[in-house]
Chains A and B, each alone.
Chain A
Amino acid sequence: MKIYFINSIRFVLLILVQVLILNHFEIFGYVNPYIYPLLIILLPFNINSIQKLFLAFALGICLDFFEDSGGIHTAATLVIAYLRPLFLRNAFGLSYDYQTLKFYDAPFRSRFVYVSLMVLLHHTILFSLEIFSVNHLLYLFEKIVYSSIFSVILILITLNLIRKTSK
């Protein structure tokens, strides 16, 4: 029960922070950091996979409503939610397989790899679907790389901030 409560609060908070604050950021004119994948990143490891997919769908479509962007956030969030076990196994190795993983006990390197993979895939799908044209390949590439850098930094900082308060 507690986990539903925590995630509902995170859901609303992340959307508001994203829409009301971060969407007004214009670093270099076109770089826009995204923090909301944090909800999917922080989900419990043993969550029911169907619940997880519906949560991702709801999160993405809320963002799409705010940004008038069709279904691009929905698609990107669904893909990272679906492929999350793969990234977890890659980043954390055996401790994920044996279900003994504690997120904050893992070395920083593992957490960094996990967050980076999730954000990079999310941004790649998001911006490819948004731009949707081969005429802008260089622009697309720049946007993915720069936005990913800022998003990863932002999410890692937020992860550390949450950890301090919960201890």
Chain B
Amino acid sequence: MQQIILFLIKNKTGLVFIILMTIALGLTFKAHTYHNSKVVSSANFVTGNVLETSEGISQYFGLKTQNEILAEENEALRKKLLNLSPSEDTLESQLDFITDTLYRIQKSTVISNYYDKIDNFLLIKGGVKDSIKEDLGVISSKGIVGIIEDVSKEFSRVISILNTNTSINAQLKKTNHFGTLTWDGKDPNILSLVDVPRSAPVKVGDTITTGGRSLIFPENVPIGIISEYELDENVGYYNISVKLFNDMTNLKHVYVIENTRKEEAYKLLNPEQP
């Protein structure tokens, strides 16, 4: 017994190192699996406020481009609005439209954005206080951004589409053949769409949108265009490179999207669960 204690005292530095290192490695391995990386998260009071203050100062440098992006979006929305047939729209039907919406949309701002790592996260303003919850989709005016993964009182952490752990259901706009959208960790403008069956008519320049099988994103949110593709002869599936519409390196105003019928749909899909 005495010898054990002596041994421990003699090697206390090594022991402390091993204990601390085990904690660090444990956190690292946990972070490499999706939905398990919440122990160390920037969505907390201290880091959230520091990053928000810094963002408050640096946002002035990007005002011009951000204004242009918003104006472009306004233009596109105006175009859609003016081309809607206004004749049948009585006040009641408009009210119906408002109270019976399937998707709740909420604006937010990005306060920290990483895109040069393998597994990237964003931090956005708004948390439990603003009724933001886990597993809501985040989009920008040009395309999808990611999925909310961790929420604190005032901040939310978003797992970016530029993260090797994300996989999002996506489809060809023309034919509705769907596949899974993943990232290989290299170019922040290119994602890859896998598992598209060989019967799909794939062409460079075609548009990819979100698929209807996801309960997180609405159908037909634009994602990007096909920049190149190859057919894997062994399995009969296409490997498609998708160039994003979204500039993931320059994000400021984003929208959080909540599917208000998600729980209902989820219950129907998994009936055996209580």
Contact = CB atoms under 8 A, between A and B. Distances in A.
B42 A68 contact: yes
Interface in B168-222: 185-186
Interface string A112-130: 0000000000000000011
Interface stretch (B13-21, B92-100, B263-271): B13-21
Given A53-B13, A71-B31, A65 B26 contact: no
Contacts of B51: 19, 66
B186 A139 contact: yes
Contacts, number: 107
B27 interface: yes
**Which 9 interchain pairs have the tightest Cβ spacing?**
A70-B31, A71-B27, A74-B24, A75-B24, A68-B121, A71-B24, A71-B28, A49-B13, A70-B28
Given A19-B50, A65-B42, 19 more contacts: A32-B116, A50-B13, A57-B20, A61-B24, A65-B40, A66-B50, A66-B112, A67-B117, A68-B40, A68-B42, A69-B117, A70-B28, A71-B23, A74-B20, A74-B23, A130-B117, A131-B118, A133-B118, A136-B186
Interface in B12-56: 12-13, 16-17, 20-21, 23-32, 37, 40-42, 44, 46-47, 50-51, 54
B27 A74 contact: yes
Contacts of A78: 17, 20-21, 24
The listed residue with most B CB atoms (<10 A of its CB), out of A23, A30, A70, is: A70
Interface residues on A, range: 35 or more
A64 B121 CA distance: 12
Interface in A57-107: 57, 60-61, 64-72, 74-75, 78-79, 82
Contact of B20 (A53, A65, A132): A53
Interface residues of B, number: 38
Contacts of B44: 65
A51 to B, nearest CB: 10
A75 B21 contact: yes
A83 B249 CA distance: 37
Contact of A129 (B28, B47, B121, B249): B28
